[in-house]
Structure 1
């Protein structure tokens, strides 16, 4: 089994370095978020929640660095589950792919995988091969346009939408956009039609 290699070994070493700069408690917390998702206990891995937790411990990471850590942990634990690795096997594979790992970080990964690996493997077996994005939450607000590409006249009402989306990778992303009121009314009508149709399935 080959562990995730984003941009080759240099990319892996960069992510490993970011992980090893964290305290073992924060590494354990990040791993727990990922493992909870992979065990089907949560609907996704929310990077904003992890970032807020890190900030409470006076640790600030760039958004991209945190995303890379989450992606790496997701790929690592998924690959370990698919290959049916033990805790010892997983640590060996991680050490083969990077010499940047600290002993304390590897001990955390070993302990958590030994505790949760079997459940992750069984959850993977239950998952279907087809994965699509899922809408987790939608927020909207009504505003008045001062300037807009879509509203021809100023002082026109508009609706601002913010969608929370669960991607197949397990990461949660946010999409924001604006609609005119007639566009939103049509959007709402289509949602109602979809909901009615789904009730008949």
Structure 2
């Protein structure tokens, strides 16, 4: 059984998959499998939405996101259960009778080629179970007015981190720190980088 949020109709998602040309569907599946192997940090919904539009299939980002989530869930579940390509196809057919034969052929072929790599990475990731830092940005600012702060006109650093969690979803974390805290933060990152170079 496929688990998605309650507002998502699996048959409707599968019907949208059936509208995609085989080569476009194959590219999307391949991108998801690369992510599940740890070779990319996330699957870009907007990029896939544009790819579908170039192929003449107009789906809004929510529908594209539903496709990516459904496929990711099924590939991840197949990896955890060590399913063969034939068993994965059987499970997909049990979850929805709307799968087209060409789509199932694409899934079968790609799972046959990538299953062992996905399984190995998913096992390793299950042990670590942490997200991946994709990007970090910082800005220097100056506090000029506040209802609660007594020490104004002191500089601060605003940090924004872009993080891909283990499911591939992108989230943002932001926080502020003093210049001294930021210098310590920077020093710790430099130490981590030098340790990683020796590994």
What's the TM-score once normalised by structure 2's chain length? 0.75
RMSD: 3.6
- Which structure 2 residues correspond to residues 71-150 of structure 1 after superposition, within 5 A? 71-139=69-137
Match of 1:194 among 176, 180, 188: 188
Deviation at 1:61, TM superposition (A): 2.2
Deviation at 1:132, TM superposition (A): 2.3
Match of 2:31 among 30, 33, 45: 33
Deviation at 1:86, TM superposition (A): 1.4
Q: Could you list the per-position Cα deviations for residues 144-193 of structure 1 after superposition, in whole angstroms to 9, with x for gaps in the alignment? A: xxxxxxxxxxxxx998865432112123x2538697xxx57467435314
| Cα distance change on mapping 1:178 and 1:85 into 2, 3 Å | closer
Structure 2, unaligned runs of 5 or more = 142-154
Deviation at 1:106, TM superposition (A): 0.9
Indicate conservation of the 8 Å contact 1:13/1:100, yes or no. yes
Match of 2:15 in 1: 17
3-state DSSP of counterpart to 2:47: helix
Deviation at 1:139, TM superposition (A): 4.1
Indicate conservation of the 8 Å contact 1:81/1:121, yes or no. yes
Match of 1:51 in 2: 49
Work out the CA distance in 1 between the residues paired with 2:159 and 2:185.
Answer: 14
| Cα distance change on mapping 1:66 and 1:114 into 2, 3 Å | same
Work out the CA distance in 2 between the residues paired with 1:124 and 1:196.
Answer: 29
Structure 1, unaligned runs of 5 or more = 144-156
3-state DSSP of counterpart to 1:6: coil
Work out the CA distance in 1 between the residues paired with 2:12 and 2:64.
Answer: 12
